[in-house]
């Protein structure tokens, strides 16, 4: 979910903000026959993982990083809290999320309360470039599909380095520029190039290492298909993007298959 870019905070907020998203999610869950008094993290999976690969990608990334019970995790761009609740329930982590968009944070708090996870998962509204946390506060900085709207990635990763303890982990899933330029728009995070800031894998790796990290793992997670993914209206992607989702999925298909955008899962250790 969104992080703020220097000088464009309100513009990015306006792009992502949605009214009544929490009630819309609950309505879809009821329509699917879910018992709102007995919700599980699996019940919510189609509704609270607004990133490529959904809950499966979250679990894959957590296993890649060998997350352990009791770890203190900062989820930057935590959105609706799907990843945070998964890390809490399935990996025993204590998770703090921060996200720019208040409606998502409000919804995340509601869903976390419904799953009775308030002691283990906390949600805050805030700017990823101005993290309001003490130095060395976390064992892990986690982020999934959240840095695409930020041009000042040097400041972003410097902030991650500051809040991590020594030898703490930076764990992320992120779209990056492929070998063919430019990407096809619209993208999930931007209607045009004015709010999309992708670096190549090589550029990203060098930038992160320069920020004080050592790479442990770098996996290409790009999905290539013979045709665009079909639209499922009972997902958070459709709820957020509406009919625009059809064009976005068509762009995604071309970007992946034509090597314009690649998806990476990676783990770095703070030096």
Domain contains 24: yes
pTM for this entry: 0.95
Tens digits of residue pLDDT in 158-189: 999 999 999 999 999 999 999 999 999 999 99
Question: How many residues are listed for the chain in this entry?
Answer: 271
Domain contains 202: yes
* Distance from C-alpha of 63 to C-alpha of 227, rounded to nearest angstrom: 29
Domain total of the chain: 1
Span of 149-158, 187-196, 223-232 with lowest mean pLDDT = 223-232
Tens digits of residue pLDDT in 205-223: 999 999 999 999 999 999 9
Domain contains 195: yes
Q: In which domain, by residue range, is 143 found? A: 9-270
- CATH at 87: 3.40.50.150
Q: Which residue has the tokens 């996200």?
A: 99
Domain contains 137: yes
* Distance from C-alpha of 121 to C-alpha of 89, rounded to nearest angstrom: 10
Does a cis peptide bond (omega within 30 degrees of 0) precede residue 177?
no
């Amino acid at each position: 979910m969104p992080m703020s870019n220097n000088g464009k905070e309100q513009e990015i907020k306006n792009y992502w903000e949605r009214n009544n998203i929490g009630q819309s999610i609950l309505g879809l869950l009821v329509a699917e026959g879910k018992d709102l008094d007995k919700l599980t993290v699996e019940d919510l999976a189609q509704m609270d993982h607004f990133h490529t690969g959904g809950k499966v990608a979250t679990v894959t990334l957590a296993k890649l990083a060998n997350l352990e019970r009791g770890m203190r995790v900062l989820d930057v761009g935590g959105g609706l809290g799907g990843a945070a609740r998964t890390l809490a329930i399935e990996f025993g982590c204590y998770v703090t999320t921060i996200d720019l968009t208040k409606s998502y944070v409000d919804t995340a708090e509601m869903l976390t309360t419904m799953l009775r996870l308030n002691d283990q998962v906390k949600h805050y509204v805030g700017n990823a470039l101005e993290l309001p946390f003490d130095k060395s506060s976390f064992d892990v900085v986690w982020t999934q599909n959240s840095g695409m709207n930020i041009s000042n990635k040097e400041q972003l990763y410097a902030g991650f380095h500051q809040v991590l303890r020594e030898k703490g982990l930076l764990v992320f899933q992120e779209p990056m520029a492929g070998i063919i330029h430019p990407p096809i728009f619209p993208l999930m995070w931007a209607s045009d190039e004015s709010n999309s800031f992708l670096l190549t894998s090589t550029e990203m790796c060098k930038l992160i290492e320069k920020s004080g990290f050592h790479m442990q793992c770098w996996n290409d997670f790009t999905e290539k298909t013979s045709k665009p993914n079909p639209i499922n209206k009972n997902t958070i992607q459709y709820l957020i993007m509406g009919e625009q989702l059809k064009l976005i999925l068509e762009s995604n298909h071309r970007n992946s298959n034509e090597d314009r955008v690649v998806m990476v899962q990676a783990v770095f250790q703070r030096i």
